[in-house]
Each structure stands twice: as C-alpha cells, then as structure tokens.
Amino acid sequence: MSVKIRLARRGRKKQAIYDVVVADARAPRDGRFIEKLGTYNPNTNPASININNERALTWLLNGAQPTDTVKAMLSYRGILLKKHLQIGVLKGAITQEQADAKYNAWLSEKDAKIEGKKDQLATAKADARKAALAAEAAKNQARLDAIKAREEEAKAAAAAAEAPAAEEAATEAPAEGGEAEA
C-alpha cells in the first residue's frame, strides 16, 4: 500500500483551510485517511502551518511520500532537514548531538526570519493606517476651507448688494426731503 502525506480541504467557499493527513494514495482527497498530522491555513499572512513534527518525521522515515505542496510545507518547517540529518546519523556520518545542534541553529534562524516578516507586515499596516488617517484629515480640512470660502463669498456678495442699495437710499432720501420742503 502506497502512503501519501497530503492536504484534505475543509472550510467554506473561498475560505479554504486544509488538514495535513496521511492517507492511502488510492483514497479520495477529502475521504478516508490514516492520521491527521496538522492544519494549513493559507488565508493568513504568513500562512499558518501547524504540523506535529515528530509524527511527520516518523511517517517520512517509514516511507510516506509527501505531495509537492506538503513537501514545501515540511521543508519550511524544517522536517525534511531533520529527516536528512537523521539519515546521516543512522549511516554514521554525524552524531546525534551534531545533528541536533545543526537543526536547532537552523530552527532559530528560521524563527527569526518569520518574526521579522511578521514585524515588517505589522509596521507596513500601521504606516498605511497613519497615511490613510492623514489623508482623511487633509481632506476634511480642505472641505472646511471650501465651506469657509463660500461663506465669506456669500457675506461679501450680501455686503456688496447692501452697499448700492444703501447708497441709492441715501441719495433718494435727501431728494425726497427736498421736494417736500419746496
């Protein structure tokens, strides 16, 4: 029986979440499986990969073949490196302590990269939010300035309309008064 480590889809439409499972190669994608090793959520940034490393390593050493996508995830998590180092230990090329030291050094470096990416994404999100807030404040200020300018134009127009009317009334008032005296 050929055994594969592959993804089984679940989740709703356009919001897929996958289970990483060990299944018979002849079983359907979402059908029967032997063991669930973890989950994979591509909807987050960076993608969330939760796999039981020890069980995955055990299955790999027993001959289970990962699909291309799962192979990339196992490589990302360092499980394939650990398998490679473990095979070196079994052949006598290196000792278990050396293999563990190499794996731990790689793992700490990888964790630092992942944290750096998360921090970079958080910083970019905060900067975008600040820029949007500043743009909104500038737009609101421009709108207030336009309203003030319209009000001042209306007051100037009203004052200009009153000034000729006041001049006409001032010139007509003495003339009317002069005719009444005569």
Angle at 64 between CA 62 and CA 65, to 5 degrees: 145
Judge: domain 3-94, CATH 3.30.420.10: no
* Separation between Cα atoms, residue 41 and residue 18, nearest integer Å: 6
- For residue 96, give every residue at least 6 positions away whose Cβ sits within 8 Å of its Cβ, in sequence order, or none: 89
What are the residue boundaries of the structural domains of the chain, listed by start? 3-94
Q: Using an 8 Å Cβ cutoff, are 24 and 5 in contact?
A: no
H/E stretch holding 38:
strand 35-41
Task: Render pLDDT for 82-100 as a digit per residue (tens, 0 to 9).
Answer: 999 989 998 988 898 999 9
Torsion of CA 86, 114, 18, 7, to 10 degrees: -30
pTM: predicted TM-score of the whole model, two decimal places? 0.65
Task: Render pLDDT for 43-59 as a digit per residue (tens, 0 to 9).
Answer: 988 888 999 999 999 99
H/E stretch holding 144:
helix 96-181
